[in-house]
Structure 1
Amino acid sequence: MFVPPPIPKSTNRGAPKNWQMSSPTGTGDGATVPDGGTIVYDLADQCTSDDLEEGALYHATVNGTVEYGVFVDLSDAVSGLVHDSNLLGQYDVGDDLIVELGEIRPDGDLSFEEVRVADYEEQRVVHGDATTVADLGDATGNTVVIEGQVVQIKQTGGPTIFQVRDETGIVPCAAFEEAGVRAHPDIEIDDIVRVSGRAEERDDGLQVEAESLTVLDGEEAADIESDLEAALAEAAEPADVEPLVEWPAFEKLWDDLRDVATELRKTVLSGRPIRMRHHADGDGLCASVPLQVALESFIASQYEDASAPQHLLKRLPSKAPYYEMEDVTRDLNFALEDRTRHGQKLPMLLMLDNGSTEEDTPAYRNLRHYDIPVVVVDHHHPDPEAVEPLIEQHVNPYLHDEDYRITTGMLCVELARMIDPDLTEDLRHVPAVAGLSDRSEAEAMRDYIDLAAEKDYDESDLRDIGEALDYATHWLRYNSGEQLITDVLNVDCDDRDRHGEVVDFLAERAERDVEDQLDAAMSHVEHERLDNGAHLYTIDVENHAHRFTYPAPGKTTGEIHDRKVAETGDPVITIGYGPDFAVLRSDGVRLDIPRMVTELTEEVDGGGVSGGGHLVVGSIKFVKGRRESVIDALVEKMAEAEIDEELGSSTALPEEV
């Protein structure tokens, strides 16, 4: 008697039709197979005669009796006769027995004989060709079998969509019940399942129209899960790329970036969405946009659902230089709604050019109530003792005795290349834009500018891109401006001429609006000389600058500061203040703004002081009625600061404070 051997788990991918997936229930006497057990096959309802092998044993149910034997069903589409000469007992309709397939006749009729088996290994046979997600493109129109893990369950107005991940990718499997009714309510996210159905093209992607969907358990599920974990670990490994420029300071952060790249790839593969929050300025955009494009590309390479990048990744600008409670409340609400409406896991929060300070911790503590991991890539002066107990990973040059001159945009361009190295050519100019936008004085800036020149960008072009990003972001406010920003930055842009025209237009508008603002404000700038010799310039930007237009208070203060530095050539501090805020810029004075904020919080009773930023640039908030006390105390501290004329300013100020 011939019994088809089971295909080993390690080689089942791409196996021919009729391979069986096993769930061992025992061993005993009977037909011999390579592992020493007897196999009895249980056909799924959708199985046809194409799924049969002569000589194999099958579970059967009597569906009719005649004088010369009984008719049995092996599935909805498979039935045949057991002649009374081949019966070992008496049976009625509905009785179960085990039969051996004796012959598949030329006319398609099947003949069986009853067998008795004391102990056996039961294997489920599903209809279709065993295949992988990666090979579905060659199987459209055919019935296929996929084994994997459910990573998302979405109820639509029609079918229920189960996103199933195998070792090679993720495919939507549509299971139909009544319109809008949850199919297979017993199946949950992370279950190991076997899907049989027809592979079809749908909406520029592939989909399996599931005819059967079964939860696996026991050793069978454990084997599949083990294979999936090994495949995930391999697929999550970042690309082996070299840094765009040689820079010993940067190399200290390389391993941290690889760890984050691994975590991001693993997050995509496990079906968890990513919610990307970034500072709404030039450096924040140079960090987030390349990473967005890389992650979208990686998602598209892993998911057969063409809409997956749109659903699994959201890029969101943050106006404040920290993670505000308004933002975290909004993010958390959207995440919980998406879990309820779309069956998504709760997201990972990816903080870029933001998120390293004690001010971020209330928002992080709010997320701790839920399964929302936080990853931070930033270059602002951090408070690791405050934030690191609340986050999973933290990349920051200060943690390696470096500083703000390594901008977040520089870090994230390399991070994007680790996720999708094919983007390298599109990103060569971006680190230079990030450095110029954030006024980095790093020794590697010349190398980055030379790298951009290879793409025909001179330094003036790069500065214009930074100004255009700043201008566009101001008017976009809380909107990410997906296509416009990628066009301005020329990342994933299909028209270099359009990019140039858009940048020229926005940069010219930005320059015009800055000139208009300074024409109104410069005559109101007040000056005094501090005890340490530094020039202090102050301006009430609430009353002596245009409001609700470009540039915002932070940018206005920065432009005034730059003019005063150019005029004097001496150490300069500039404060732009409003009713309950102040923005600070410094050149040639060794300030420590985060420390000053901490001291003011304790020293100004009832001041309600908060804020932070880089060491020599930042912003603070305070209670309106204590403005004079807060600013006077701040100026006293600045007057005591050490003069260091080699120390430049670090960055453009945040748009909002």
Structure 2
Amino acid sequence: MSSPTGTDDGAEAPEGGAIVYDLASGCTADDVDVGSRYRATVNGVVDYGVFVDLSDAVSGLVHDSNLQGSYEEGDQLVVELGEVRSDGDMSFEEVDVTEFETEHVAHGTAADVDGLADATGDTVVVEGQVVQIKQTGGPTIFQVRDGTGVVPCAAFEEAGVRAHPDVEIDDIVRVSGRAEERNGGVQVEVDALTRLDGEAADAVEATLDDALEAAAEPADIEPLVEWPAFEKLWEDLREVATELRKTVLEGRPIRMRHHADGDGLCASVPLQVALERFIADHYEDGDAPQHLLKRLPSKAPYYEMEDVTRDLNFALEDRTRHGQKLPMVLMLDNGSTEEDTPAYRNLRHYDIPVVVVDHHHPDPEAVEPLITEHVNPYLHDEDYRITTGMMCVELARMIAPDLSEELQHVPAVAGLSDRSEGEAMPDYLALAEEQGYDEGDLRDIGEALDYATHWLRYSSGEQLITDVLNVDCDDRQRHTELVDQLAQKAERDVDQQLDAAMEHVEHERLDNGAHLYQIDVENHAYRFTYPAPGKTTGEIHDAKVAETGDPVITIGYGPDFAVLRSDGVRLDIPQYVTELTEEVDGGGVSGGGHLVVGSIKFVKGMRGEVIDALVEKMADAEIDEELASSTALPDDV
């Protein structure tokens, strides 16, 4: 026989008082003990005493010789179980207690969420915190987190009517009910759900807090390669991994925003797969990964107002329709500049946390007051050569270390896509070769990613992109054939674009000796096709660098934008944007990126003034002989 608490642990009477148990309606004779005291309700009065109910299934007689007062049907009193006869009949006696503590007894066996798969068909008791409340057309679904995981608990009232309206998100509760298999996991069919308070709630909450801290601790892994520059970022990445794991366990959704290019995809896809696996490991709801994580590409190299407005709208709808908490926004390969701050201020109205992992030149004074975590190599006197994809592969491994072998080639793809010549690139290339990828294969993957994401536009292209990157892909041959096809189409379209555009490229020699090439990509390149203006400018730039072997600056401009590329010239595009904003009255200048690669926007009618002022600044820039011998510049704007 179990103890009256429904657990294997007995309860001690409080000093100066006693414990009186209050049985849940589903409790049976197995949940009571002789000598224990219970709340009882009179269900009938006879000449020789009163009959009392302790639950729907537990009742008995209090003989008049054991009564201390007169009672009517419906009255409540405290009784002590005196005897259980061989036929199951129970006899009670009334007790007079002035100081006592009431303890609820849930029907069932105490269970942890991670053990429910072995308890299907049994009645269980789970204590934990409510992290989501979703009203369906039938039951109300309470997602309840204990120290080992999260389980959906289905409570029934009338169809579509909110069950237990007094229970809210973050409340500490005790749930008893039958564990059943549902949606590839386990669901508790609720018999009783009670909101705990006082010492009972405090005890459960303390246990949950300890378990959360332990479960949020990142996996103890070693970096894929030895790289002193990268080691400076390791603790920052561990803090982000902790924050992400904790966010998942607390039931807060994550909206992952990433730059829509090769490095952005090498950052976001591994992290998406890792988080989905972590969610699946800790949630008994098979649909939880889909509901708790969204990967969303961003075309601009900063968080646009269009994107943040969409994110806010979806977040508020999900809170209303699905009972979700407001999300965390996770910015990858994006989010470090002053251009992001208007969007962040919008999120701040709703206390939505923001975490940034990026390698663009940052404005920490502008963004850090508005975000929770910020990882960026520039904050440690490093630069863009440590790409966001490299960082996020390690971040993914800290969350789901079993992914390590599957991700071994991804940092090399990220480095080649963003033209990193960091000291560790040979080591990353060697790791990829161990998995059967030579450098040509990796470049093709980067081109295929760029081509696919161009046509996907605002769609994440879940399965297509994972197949191209060969992460969480179950068919290597399909991956190879897909990459070959997309890379060939990308090469064909680039060649076609250059054939049309090259004759329209204008050239001049700047005072500092650099070649300046300009092209109107709005009028002298194919529009609404691949490659886009940024990629087109980059391809023209690469061709001119190879042709001249000298320092080169290339500007591809449209009616209200310009894309900038530079080799061998020490530019500072973020600083130029700041200066142009002040110097060109009515120009409406904004933008950013890396120091030598970026994009700017301006008012259409002020294009001439803005570009002329920009060229003047470029003509004064210092020539960098070291950079002049290299084409290792990022191509992610």
Query: In the alignment, what sits opposite 1:510?
Result: 490
Matched, 1:265 2:248: no
Q: Equivalents in 1 of 2:437, 2:506: separation in Å?
A: 39
Question: Contact 1:192–1:225 (CA<8 Å) still a contact in 2?
Answer: yes
Tell me whether 1:71 sits opposite 2:51 in the alignment. yes
Alpha carbons 1:406, 1:442 under 8 Å: kept: yes
Describe the superposition over 1:424-483 as per-residue Cα deviations: whole angstroms up to 9, x where unpaired: 001000000000000011111111000100100000000000000000000000000001
Flag structure 1 segments of 5+ consecutive residues without an equivalent. 29-36
> 1:154, 1:162 within 8 Å by CA — same for their partners in 2?
yes
Aligned counterparts, 1:121-270, within 5 A: 121-270=101-250
Aligned to 1:616: 596
Q: Over residues 530-570 of structure 1, what are the superposed CA-to-partner deviations in whole Å (9 max), with x where a residue is unaligned? A: 11111111111111110000000000011111111111111
Residue in structure 2 matched with residue 636 of structure 1 by the alignment: 616
Q: For 1:453, what is the secondary structure of its paired residue?
A: helix
CA deviation after TM superposition for structure 1 residue 5, in Å = 6.8
Q: Which amino acid aligns with 2:166?
A: D
Matched, 1:61 2:41: yes
What is the CA RMSD across the aligned residues, in angstroms? 1.6
Q: State how 1:259-408 maps to structure 2 within 5 Å.
A: 259-408=239-388
Q: Look up the equivalent residue of 2:80 and give its one-letter code.
A: E
Distance in structure 2 (CA, Å) of the matches to 1:496 and 1:173:
40
Deviation at 1:20, TM superposition (A): 7.1
Q: Supply the distance in 2 between the matched residues of 1:260 and 1:444 (Cα, whole angstroms).
A: 23
Give the aligned partner of residue 102 of structure 1: 82
Instruction: Provide the residue aligned with 2:551 in structure 1.
Output: 571
Partner of 1:432: 412
TM-score (norm 1): 0.94
How much has 1:133 moved relative to structure 2? 0.5
Residue equivalent to 2:626? 646
Q: Are the equivalent residues in 1 in contact too, given 2:50–2:61 (CA < 8 A)?
A: yes
- How far did 1:27 drift? 4.4
Per-residue CA shift, 1:357-382, capped at 9, x if unaligned? Answer: 11101111111111201110000000
Cα deviation for residue 83 of structure 1 reads 2.4
SS at the partner of 1:646?
Answer: helix
Distance (whole Å) between structure 2 residues aligned to residue 4 and residue 285 of structure 1: 54
- Once the 2 structures are TM-superposed, how far is the Cα of residue 327 of structure 1 from its aligned partner? 0.5
How far apart, in 2, do the equivalents of 1:61 and 1:319 lie?
A: 66
Displacement of 1:593 after TM fit?
0.7
- Counterpart mapping for 1:360-509 below 5 A: 360-509=340-489
Q: Residue 27 of structure 1 contacts residue 120 of structure 1 at CA under 8 Å; is this kept in 2?
A: no
Whether the 8 Å CA contact 1:291–1:416 is kept in 2: the answer is: yes
Pairing of 1:39-50 with structure 2 (within 5 A): 39-50=19-30
Q: Please say which of residues 107-116 and 507-516 is displaced more in the overlay.
A: 107-116
Query: What is the distance in 1 between the residues matched to 2:453 and 2:10?
Result: 57
User: What is the one-letter code of the residue matched to 1:433?
Assistant: V
Look up the equivalent residue of 2:323 and give its one-letter code: G
Query: How far has the Cα of 1:76 moved from its partner?
Result: 1.6
Taking the aligned partners of 1:5 and 1:492, their CA distance within structure 2 comes to 48
Q: Which amino acid aligns with 1:206?
A: V
Alignment of 1:510-589 (within 5 A): 510-589=490-569
2:51 and 2:272 map into 1 onto residues whose CA distance is: 61
Kindly tell me the number of residue pairs found equivalent between the two proteins. 634
Q: Residue 64 of structure 2: which of 67, 72, 84 is its match?
A: 84
Letter in 1 for 2:625: E
The gaps in structure 2 that reach 5 residues or longer are none
- Partner AA of 1:515 in structure 2: D
Aligned residue type for 2:635: A
C-alpha deviation, 1:59, in angstroms: 1.7
Q: Secondary structure at the match of 1:81?
A: strand
Q: Tell me how far 1:39 sits from its aligned partner.
A: 2.2
Aligned partner of 2:439: which letter?
E
**C-alpha contact 2:130 2:143 (8 A) present in aligned 1:** yes
Match for 1:201: what amino acid?
Answer: E
Aligned-residue offset at 1:111: 1.9
Q: Tell me the TM-score normalized by structure 2.
A: 0.97
CA contact (8 A) 2:534 2:556 kept: yes
**Counterpart residue identity of residue 650, structure 1:** L
Matched residue SS, 1:544: coil
How far apart are residue 502 of structure 1 and its match? Answer: 0.4
> Which among 98, 118, 122 is matched to residue 98 of structure 2?
118
Cα separation, 1, equivalents of 2:65 and 2:473: 76
Q: Are the equivalent residues in 1 in contact too, given 2:303–2:335 (CA < 8 A)?
A: yes
C-alpha distance in 1, partners of 2:619/2:153? 67
